[in-house]
Amino acid sequence: MVRRLLLGLMLLLPPGAVARADDYDGDKCEAFSHNLDPSFNVAANGQFRLTIDMTHCGGYVQNYQVTLMSAKRGVPYATLMVLDQTGHSVGTCDAGHHVVFIGNVPTNAIYTVVVTSGSRRAESCVLNYSGAI
């Protein structure tokens, strides 16, 4: 009797839909699209900058972090800093620790990733972006 009642209620109720924010567009969300970028060189005493536009991610990006790795074997001497759209630092790391944890990304976030050389020679580096939507 109880099963039939529950089955009847399930048939009468409308099917659930996944709620999406109005500003979410999976094709324009740049949270993880730069993972496919090739390695880049940071000149001695120079910088590399990359802008990541998260305004189309709808605030769904969670546990976001940026990791700096060497394109070759070993650890890069470069430092990593992430700035928000106002120019304030969201996170920074020294030459020994290459992860900047951002956490939950707000809906209006535009981040600038800055890699600063820490060596007297040019370094070949790769950036990795991880998290969940």
The dihedrals phi and psi of 76, each to the nearest 5 degrees, come to -70, 150
3-state secondary structure of 114: strand
> Which of 78, 80, 71 minimizes the C-alpha distance to 118?
78
pLDDT (tens digit, 9 = 90+) per residue, 11-45?
Answer: 555 554 444 556 788 888 888 999 999 999 999 99
Q: Which pLDDT score is estimated for 72?
A: 84
Q: Which pLDDT score is estimated for 94?
A: 77
Mean pLDDT over 66-71 rounds to 90
**Lowest mean pLDDT: which of 70-74, 75-79, 127-131?**
70-74
- Is residue 5 predicted with pLDDT exceeding 50? yes
Q: Which pLDDT score is estimated for 9?
A: 52
Q: What angle do CA 11, 14, 18 make, to 5 degrees?
A: 130
The dihedrals phi and psi of 100, each to the nearest 5 degrees, come to -115, 115
Here the tokens at position 10 are: 């399930």
3-state secondary structure of 20: coil
CATH architecture of 23-132: Sandwich (2.60)
User: Does pTM top 0.85 for this prediction?
Assistant: no
Domain regions of the chain by residue span? 23-132
For the chain, count helices (H), then strands (E).
1, 8
